[in-house]
Amino acid sequence: MTSRAVNAGLAAVYVAASTVIPLVLKTTPSDLDLYFWPSAQTVVAGHPLLIYSTNPHAIFFNDNGPVGLIPLVPIAALANALGWAGSLAGRAALTGAVVSLFALLLAYQALRFIAVARGGVRRPLAVECSVLLAPALWIAIVDYGHVEQPVELCLILLAVTCILSSRNALTGVALGAAVLTRTVAGFCVIPLMLAPLATRRRRPTATIVVAAVIAIGVGIAPFFVADAQGAARSLLTYRDNLPIGGGSFWIIARQTPWASLVKDGDVYFAAAVAIALVAMTLRRKPSVATTHTGLIGLVTVASCCFPIFAKTVFPYYLLEPYIFAAIWWLARPGSARNWRAVSPLLLTLDVFIVKAALISPGSVWGVVASLVSSGTVGVAMALVIRDLLGSAENASASPGLEDICSLGRGWR
């Protein structure tokens, strides 16, 4: 009972901090204000299918699916009732309070996943803090206003958990909902789609794909019926018109003859690399598809490909790779104090490298920081691949491998 009271108290403190901090720090508009909030207000006004018609700033579009707006709609209605809808700090505070609940749910899901993979966790608070106190999470929500990311991550973790228990239809539905929350969740579909094929099981893959396609189709079709041009522009073609910016090695392609290829194809190139890396890993070590650490490691690899190959990278792009890398690291047997911690640490460091690169992307420092950023994510991804190829099959049979790298015990 005491432990539950302490946990409830800490959760209340976290929600309070998530509410107060935006009141203090929120002074300039973020993505929350530029396109999420106008779309939510469109729903509150009684036009839920016209969220992709809202374009008050001419150059900003809501390029994510409708599910991410679900937590924001009641916040917008409450802000209208309180008279806070026009206040940057007021609506950010209300948003932070509600989104913190999804962050707490995400931390709980991560803890449960790690506990199942390891057979128990002795320091659950430390595990939860690795999620709740992550700089990438706070920057994504408070600085950039991407309230959809904790929701997306909860759905992806649900999908990973379901596929490990052979609930393939639910896996597909969860993945479809994740894509409808944040479109780059499609990168996480890749390993969950290919994993059953590694063990020569075609039917689970077919079930997952069909369920995901149906979920996405049912979820997005009404918006295309109501406003085909607005939905297509926001979800399909808007990104093609964006310039090459900072935070990515593609900065070297600016003002070159092949810059248009990068502008139009960066996401497709990233997806192709993700498919190749996941397929290669599964071909060499099919057993990674059947373990908690193996599967979450594959999801980490796939999610890293987007911030490596995107033509412009923002700090919140690192949230998904960080969360999955942290879970992969903590879910491994043995002490948590081992070389695998370098991967989530590098992704955390890259959050600040990207912020520095975006200050002046065209400067020499901006170019250098952008190159370092891509290299940092690449190293973090390579460490995960190295582990998947080197020890996924025999981790349980050779615990001494962890002891050699470990600096201490106590996590199991």
Instruction: Render 313-337 in DSSP notation, one character per residue.
Output: --GGGGHHHHHHHHHHHHHSSS-S-
pLDDT of residue 320: 98
CA–CA distance from 381 to each of 137, 255, 354, 404 (Å)? 19, 29, 17, 22
Among candidate residues 204, 236, 268, the one where a domain is terminated: 236
Q: Over the stretch 269-285, which tens digit does the pLDDT of each residue have? A: 999 999 999 999 999 99
Identify whether residues 160 and 68 lie together within a single domain.
yes
Identify whether residues 163 and 184 lie together within a single domain.
yes
Number of domains in the chain: 2
3-state helix, strand, coil in the chain (%, to 5): 75, 0, 25
Identify whether residues 360 and 399 lie together within a single domain.
yes
Identify whether residues 229 and 248 lie together within a single domain.
no
Identify whether residues 255 and 279 lie together within a single domain.
yes
Average pLDDT over residues 33-47: 92
pTM above 0.85, yes or no: yes
Identify whether residues 223 and 251 lie together within a single domain.
no
**Tokens in use for 280?**
């290669």
Residue 103 near residue 147, CB atoms below 8 Å: no
pLDDT of residue 392: 43
Q: Over the stretch 335-367, which tens digit does the pLDDT of each residue have? A: 888 999 999 999 999 999 999 999 988 889 999
Among candidate residues 236, 264, 282, the one where a domain is terminated: 236
Residue 55 — pLDDT band, cuts 50, 70, 90? low
Identify whether residues 403 and 265 lie together within a single domain.
yes
Burial class (CB in 10 A: 0-12, 13-18, 19+), 48: middle
Identify whether residues 152 and 254 lie together within a single domain.
no
- Range with lowest mean pLDDT among 48-57, 139-148, 191-200: 48-57
239 vs 208, residue with greater confidence: 208
Helical segments of 240-287, H only: 259-284
Per the structure, the complete domain to which residue 405 belongs is given by: 242-412
Report d(CA 365, CA 304) in Å as an integer.
23
Among candidate residues 216, 236, 256, the one where a domain is terminated: 236
Residue 261 — pLDDT band, cuts 50, 70, 90? confident
- Indicate the DSSP class of residue 237: I
Identify whether residues 232 and 88 lie together within a single domain.
yes
Q: Residue 401 pLDDT > 50, yes or no?
A: no
Q: Which has the closest alpha carbon to 172: 183, 158, 182, 151?
A: 158
Burial class (CB in 10 A: 0-12, 13-18, 19+), 232: middle
Identify whether residues 227 and 246 lie together within a single domain.
no
Residue 56 — pLDDT band, cuts 50, 70, 90? low
Q: Residue 111 pLDDT > 70, yes or no?
A: yes
- Range with lowest mean pLDDT among 109-113, 126-130, 263-267: 263-267
